[in-house]
Amino acid sequence: MILVTGGAGFIGANFVLDWLAQSDEPVINLDKLTYAGNLQNLASLEGDSRHIFIHGDINDQQKIATLLKQYHPRAIIHLAAESHVDRSIHEPEAFIQTNIVGTFRLLDIAYYYWKEQEGEAQQAFRFVHVSTDEVYGSLCKDAPAFTETHPYQPNSPYSASKASSDQLVRAYHHTYGLPTLITNCSNNYGAFQFPEKLIPLMIVNALSGKPLPVYGDGQQIRDWLYVKDHCSAIRRVLQAGIPGETYNIGGWNEKPNIEIVHIICDLLNELHPADYHKLIKYVTDRPGHDRRYAIDARKIERDLGWRPVETFETGIRKTVKWYLDHQDWVANVHSGEYRKWIESHYQEHAG
């Protein structure tokens, strides 16, 4: 079996669902259930003995040691993190505690577990660390996309914390030989994304007639990847990646934010007619806002044969439909802590 951390979050839940749709190999899912962890994402697995959910923190070494001893996973897929840049600007502490200290604690326990394995089990063990393209910093408009050797220049507390965790993972491979792999992926979108991130926030706000807050001039560029494509890339890296290597994962889909918002308004207008464009509102920019991210995903294609399946047009249509069909999920999220966060946050940006 495999151990997934953060499997109740956006990418984690998609990963667990995808994994169990394709294989009967059980998953132990360790998640702290922060505001971003939502077990409703995994409701379709209720009663499925292949999914073992453990409520816990990656900082809790004793709990992880017990888990490893009990279940003997052949791999750890590490997704647990604080993941939202705006939150990291307001309250960076949790990012340091989970993304840096938590990753260190998990790595350290994984190392002792791996060292005690023998023969084939030791050889086959993998620690896959799921990271972000934001560690590379910001690109000018015409600069070439990030390759795996691009220098780390993180600009937000979020990206700095992820960069630190990447460096620790690298060090555990280099110093101790732990068979680690690092993936640096661009912005994901799809089902179950918490509606604080750009795409779900715009869909959810538009459907309830709320303003669509575009930071600054809306010309910041992100490289969008449909979440299921990210999941297939992680599976491929686990299966065939070389320990010690880093793989960039991207969608070959660079778009400025304002274009994304217009595409969402057009799609919503087609599927649930109303004038959504009039809700667009330019608001105060995010401090230190990175201008452009772009991933050069040629290495993973060349070495592991992975390419995304979805185009932005097909992926965004599926995503908008999903949010339209799952308004109960959105309502459930809204009744939680999310409401408090969005109120204080939006007031600031509305300036």
214/316 with CB nearer ligand TYD:
214
When asked if residue 36 is in the footprint of ligand NAD (CB under 6 A), the reply is yes
The binding track of 156-175 with respect to ligand NAD, each residue x by CB under 6 A or -, is: ------x-------------
Crossing angle for the helix pair 327-334 and 198-207, to the nearest 10 degrees:
100
Among 58, 204, 264, 294, binds ligand NAD (CB under 6 A): 58
Active site (annotated) includes residue 118: no
Active site (annotated) includes residue 134: yes
Q: What is the smallest separation between the CB atom of 85 and ligand TYD, expressed in angstroms?
A: 4
Q: What are phi and psi of 64, to 5 degrees?
A: -65, -40
Active site (annotated) includes residue 133: yes
Residue 214 binding partner per list ligand TYD, ligand NAD, none, with a CB distance cut-off of 5 to 8 Å that depends on partner kind: ligand TYD
Are 290 and 220 in contact by the 8 Å Cβ rule? The answer is yes
The amino acid at residue 163 is A
When asked if residue 45 is in the footprint of ligand NAD (CB under 6 A), the reply is no
Are 79 and 12 in contact by the 8 Å Cβ rule? The answer is yes
Crossing angle for the helix pair 103-116 and 157-176, to the nearest 10 degrees:
20
From the list 39-47, 197-205, 238-246, 317-325, the region that binds ligand TYD by CB under 6 A is 197-205
Place of tokens 């620690």: 127
Integer Cα distance of 297 and 132 in angstroms? 13
Q: What element of type H or E holds 213? A: strand 212-215
Tokens of 224: 């969008």
The binding track of 77-116 with respect to ligand NAD, each residue x by CB under 6 A or -, is: --xxxxx--------------x---x--------------
When asked if residue 155 is in the footprint of ligand TYD (CB under 6 A), the reply is no
Q: What is the smallest separation between the CB atom of 92 and ligand TYD, expressed in angstroms?
A: 15
Catalytic one of 113, 158, 247, 293: 158
Q: What is the DSSP letter of 36?
A: T
Tokens of 255: 């778009």
Q: What is the smallest separation between the CB atom of 120 and ligand NAD, expressed in angstroms?
A: 29
